[in-house]
Amino acid sequence: MTNLGVLISGRGSNLEALINASNKKEIPAKIAVVISDKSDAFGLERARKHNIEAVYINPDDFKGKDAYEQGIVKTLKKHNVNLVCLAGYMRIAGKVLIDSYKSKIINIHPSLLPAFPGLNAQKQALEHGVKISGATVHFVDEGCDTGPIIVQSAVPVLAGDTIEILSSRILAEEHKLYPLAVKYFAEGKLKIEGRRVIIQ
């Protein structure tokens, strides 16, 4: 059984998708702990409703990013986490986190990477005028949304789409894609070869 540590900053709908997949035994993984860098993240409430340990770790309580991430790693280790899932966690993972969980941190992003990394990916896609966008789950490296890609799902960008409409079309895909990526990881099917992730 893989123990997940889910890092969030907000709403937590991807967290909920992982909780549901775990409860339905669609993935051989359970959520061991949820950590937020924001005290009012709704995802903390979602986790508690499912009796999952949910912790707010205030970055201001630490002297700098390394110390903050050491605090996160301490909590992850305490819960025997062996896969860290970033789910709407709006900070770039740093060296401490990445070195502590080498090739064991994944992230979901609302675009077909490498297009539109960073903030407001759906807005970037609309403004660029692409006809297809989507979602990506990838391993995390020290860049911003640059790590090896595990799975992707495409959606059309339609005439008349607003940021909200496109975001919800992509989000529906995210909720299927993240559990799938976790399933592959938990089943030991993922092998990283350079930039490529082989699904065995």
Residues 81-100 that bind ligand GAR (CB under 6 A): 87-88
**Number of Cβ atoms within 10 Å of the Cβ of 115:** 16
Exactly one of 54, 171, 181, 182 binds ligand GAR (CB under 6 A); which one?
Answer: 171
Contact between 148 and ligand GAR per CB under 6 A: no
Residues 6+ apart with CB under 8 A from 190: 150, 184, 197, 198, 199, 200
Q: Among residues 18, 52, 109, 185, which is the contact residue for ligand GAR, using CB under 6 A?
A: 109
Return the half-sphere exposure (C-beta side, CA atoms, 13 A cut-off) of residue 9: 8
Smallest distance from ligand GAR to CB 88, Å: 3
65 a known binding residue?
yes
Using CB under 6 A, which of 2, 7, 12, 84 touches ligand GAR?
12
Please give the structure tokens belonging to residue 34.
């949820």
**Residue placing its CB nearer to ligand GAR in the complex, 67 or 154:** 154
Calculate the alpha carbon distances from 155 to 96, 148, 186 in Å: 35, 21, 26
Token pair of 181, please? 């990526």
> Minimum distance from CB of 188 to ligand GAR (Å)?
25
**In contact, 93 and 5? CB cutoff 8 Å:** no
From candidates 6, 7, 13, 37, binder to ligand GAR by CB under 6 A: 13
Is 12 marked as binding a ligand?
A: yes
Contact 135, 177 (CB under 8 A): yes
User: What are the catalytic residues?
Assistant: 109
- The annotated binding site is made up of 12-14, 65, 107
Contacts with ligand GAR by CB under 6 A lie at 8, 10-14, 43, 87-88, 108-110, 121, 145, 171, 174
